[in-house]
Amino acid sequence: MALLDFFKKIEPDKKKSPVLHTLYDAVFTFAYAPDQTTSGGVHIRDGMDLKRTMIHVVIAMQLCYLFGTYNIGHQHFTAAGQYLGFLEGFHLKLAHGLIKLLPLFIWTNVIGLGIEIYFAAKKGHAVEEGFLVSGALIPLIMPPDLPIWILCVSVAFAVIIGKEAFGGTGMNIWNVALLARVFVFFAYPTTISGDQVWVSGYESLASGTMADYGFFHNGLCNTLFGWMGVDQFNSATTAVVDGYSGATPLALAYAGGWEAVTEQFTPAQMWWGTIPGSIGETSKIFVLLGAFFLLITRIASWRIMLSMTIGAAFMAMLLNVWGATPFMDVPWYYQFWMGSFFFAMAFMATDPVTATATNTGKWIYGFLIGFIGMIVRVMNPAYPEGWMLSILFLNTFSALIDHYVIEGNMKKRLKSA
């Protein structure tokens, strides 16, 4: 009660300071469940508002955050041929990962929430909760060395053009996090595609390139590690080894098929995620654990997840039969070992705002995402992955799918009547 009293005392005046009051309201409703509940015997009464629904999705991502942070450091030292065992140099890998990830997370939320608070104050209502998920998703789908200014521009574009222009949370047509990524992909393609961008801490991956350490490496972390008597960051001895490319399994598969992939990575490495890639997508096991959490809490639709898997598998089998390129010959089940399919399935395709709402529509929607996404992945060399484009494409048609499903149901009922 003392905390509640404190919140009541510091509440700004809504008319005199609308922006401050909007910020206060966002923090207050984050800390406390709403006291407005439905009434009447036929209604369910609980404190499960939209903010708490979104928090479940954020919780489901935490294992991806933990593993992704550490894997940033692991890939950095793998490029230098140091601490090749996954748990070797644990403190250095974790510190490097935090140095790279924290700015992405902080700036994503500063820009995104800042825009949300501004629009909420102008419209005179509480902060909408949708950016809780988008703000957690965006850092996970970006490269670790993405320039901060590009990140900020992409977040501003996604929130303003993709969300606020349509009326805010619940009104947007496209997934906001994917809009931020697609903006970077088309506006600044060299920062989010190719082999080099997935390994952080070097100006290039040319042999002999020294690690690019700054104040947090050389100053803060090395001072702390010196007190602890453990290994420290040393740019003079950390350099890219001969023959290292930073290529992802998808890039290798496109160039030489499954054989080229397994020459560099084992299926176990791809499953556990000790490979280059976007920060949150690499570990399939942790992504699936997050997906399982969303399913048991009934936040995400199992129909979309299952139908998307069926659609991707079906298209991969057809490509196996065709077999015109080495990538088409990759066994269909190993397509799930590479890239970001599971992450897109769990956290992107199931977005309740931009996905279909009818049960039949969810089957159609998910299947088409998997089917089209696999075509883009395998047959279009311009795009290193297909799920971003296929999800945004089906976002556009999700309302139309629901419309025809509802129309079909109405016609059936009219016939029976």
**Which of 54-76 are b and which e, b meaning 16 or more Cβ less than 10 Å from the residue's Cβ?**
bbbbeebbebbbebbbbbbbbbb
Sort 103 into a burial class: Cβ within 10 Å, 0-12 / 13-18 / 19+.
middle
CA angle (297 as vertex; 178, 1 as ends), nearest 5 = 100
pTM as predicted: 0.89
CA of 6: how far to CAs of 3, 9, 11, 37, in Å?
5, 5, 9, 24
User: Quick check: 312 and 373 in contact, CB under 8 A?
Assistant: yes
CA angle (233 as vertex; 227, 237 as ends), nearest 5 = 135
Q: What is the 3-state secondary structure (H, E, C) of 265-307?
A: CCHHHHHHCCCCCCCCCCCHHHHHHHHHHHHHCCCCCHHHHHH
pLDDT per residue rounded down to tens, the chain (417 residues)? 666 676 677 777 766 666 666 666 666 665 665 555 555 444 444 555 566 778 899 999 999 999 999 999 999 999 999 999 999 999 999 999 999 999 999 999 999 999 988 888 887 776 766 788 999 999 999 999 999 999 999 999 999 999 998 888 788 999 999 999 999 999 999 999 888 999 999 999 999 999 999 999 999 999 999 999 999 999 999 999 999 989 999 999 999 999 999 999 999 999 999 999 999 999 999 999 999 999 999 999 999 999 999 999 999 999 999 999 999 999 999 999 999 999 999 999 999 899 999 999 999 999 999 999 999 999 988 887 899 999 999 999 999 999 999 999 999 899 887
Measured over the CA atoms of residue 229, residue 68, residue 196 and residue 265, the dihedral's sign is: positive
